[in-house]
Amino acid sequence: MQSRFRSDRRLTVRMTVTLFLLGLLYVGFVAALIVLLKSWLLVVVLVGAMFVAQFWFSDRIAMFAMRGRVVEREEYPELHAVVDRLCAIADMPKPVVAVSEMDMPNAFATGRNPDHAVVCVTTGLLRRLEPAELEGVLAHELSHVAHKDVAVITVASFLGVIAGLVVRFAFYSQIFGGGRRDQNTAAVFAAVIGVSAAVYAISFLLIRALSRYRELAADRAAAQLTGRPSALASALTKVSGDIARIPTKDLRTAQAFNAFYFTPATGKEPGIERFFSTHPPLEQRLEQLGRISAELGEAATPGKAG
């Protein structure tokens, strides 16, 4: 079913190109492992099983990692009411609604398709935002579900996860078992580490580029659906400012899942590292919302809820 979220052809093209390139990389990676490890059955079975597990259980994995739990309407009636209203406006299936008991103000969406999706907000977000700001954030997350970029990011990140695990496994095996291996085995392990590291680096850059664009696309779609880009801009400003005041040590666990969050748990605006960030700079997001506000003729200015 097609939702009323405005389609984004540029996002669709970017997702298609990214998946195509990662697909080529994926095939080459598996082929290299088969040649190096000399066991195609082992490689295909393990990689295939992990892919199926990540794709089908991505929502549960994300919920567990980010301490989210499903909540019913009786427990959070206002939150459900906002999601109900937005889903009715967007003409899309209502996702599972969840809450994470975290003080960090944030939200995320996960799931393999609109019929199997979860939208989760933290208690820190619920405490800090006004109703119009919360609506903007939830519209942003719902647009990820409607555009199916949540599923694309889940699939795209799989290759990087596998490559990273292979690097770690090979590295620790070499450290703790190096003395029992001959030179040929050591050369194979070195090759595995080299190929996996290269695959991880390439997939990392491709995913980060797609992730930054999809956040801008979600901001646009949310602003156009609600007609209140200033409320979303206000939420962005407020959430980013509050996260910046949270000690870095308290954000480290959350940073592993930055690609899924409404705004990254970095605690600061990136400098040169913005080219490796999962999100565009706050200034760029606010500037875009300001343009949309002017186009819609909204009286409020970005950064202040109207």
Instruction: Say whether 141 is catalytic.
Output: yes
Local confidence pLDDT in tens for the 306 residues of the chain:
556 777 788 899 999 998 888 888 877 877 877 776 677 777 778 777 777 776 677 677 777 777 889 999 999 999 999 999 999 999 999 999 999 998 899 999 988 788 889 999 999 999 999 999 999 999 999 999 999 888 888 777 766 666 666 666 666 655 445 545 556 766 766 777 777 778 778 888 888 889 999 999 999 999 999 999 999 999 999 999 888 777 666 666 666 677 788 988 775 555 566 667 889 999 999 999 999 999 988 654 444 443
Query: Smallest Cα–Cα separation from 106: which of 54, 68, 163?
Result: 68
pLDDT at position 249: 62
Burial of 207 (0-12, 13-18, 19+ CB in 10 A): buried
- Chain-centre distance for alpha carbon 45: 27
What's the rounded Cα separation, in Å, for the pair 29 and 52? Answer: 17
Q: Which two tokens stand for residue 43?
A: 């490689």
- Strands 116-122, 96-100: pairing kind: parallel
What's the rounded Cα separation, in Å, for the pair 108 and 138? Answer: 9
Catalytic residue among 133, 141, 215, 298: 141
What's the rounded Cα separation, in Å, for the pair 42 and 197? Answer: 20
**Cα atoms in the 13 Å half-sphere on the side-chain side of 184:** 3
| pTM of structure | 0.81
